[in-house]
Amino acid sequence: MKELIFEYQRQLLGTIICVLILLISRFASTKAIRKVGKLRDIHEARTRLIIKYVSVGHTILAFSVLIFVWGVNFRELGLVLSSVFAILGVALFANWSILSNITAGVILFFSFPFKIGDRIRILDKEVPDEAVIIDIKAFYFHMINDHGEHITYPNNLLLQKGVVLIEKQVHLDEDGSGIL
């Protein structure tokens, strides 16, 4: 066991440093995202969703660094990565709207002037009524209009269409299903 540790001493030290940096950066980014969420009065569920996205990004970055620390053969790694990227490219091309909705959800978190409980009108023929925002998920905006109809609207379309703020912080039922 001592021989194994001595032989891979540099890689083990690099791994420990990488894991420590990962933990510190995750902690700092989580704290920063929570602070932004609190300052902008953003719903806690949305804040947790963005934290999850950032954590996945940190993990992918740390995994990439560990590949270099352990000295993986680049020719073999290139073959594997090109195959993986080819498959991902086809899969992501087929599901481009999913990625655009997730990206729009992150953009909406950091720079969107509307919150859960606000009454809005989307300048779109297909959504003629005003509605109250009841939830904002990774892919969709959930709203309810005055007729009690639940409307689900994709995040990426919300960035593309004009939105009029009618009233801030309309009071919702306990379960968020209707307007008081």
Question: Per-residue pLDDT for the chain (180 aa), expressed as one digit of tens each?
Answer: 677 777 788 888 989 998 999 999 999 999 999 999 888 888 888 888 889 889 988 998 888 888 888 777 767 777 777 887 777 776 666 566 777 777 888 787 777 677 888 898 888 888 778 899 888 887 888 999 888 889 888 888 888 888 888 887 765 555 555 555
Question: What tokens does 1 get?
Answer: 């066991």
Q: pTM for the full model?
A: 0.56
d(CA 157, CA 97): 10
**Answer CATH for 113-167 from 2.30.30.60, 3.40.50.620, 3.40.50.150, 1.10.3330.10:** 2.30.30.60
Single out the residue of 50, 60, 62 nearest to residue 23, CA to CA.
62
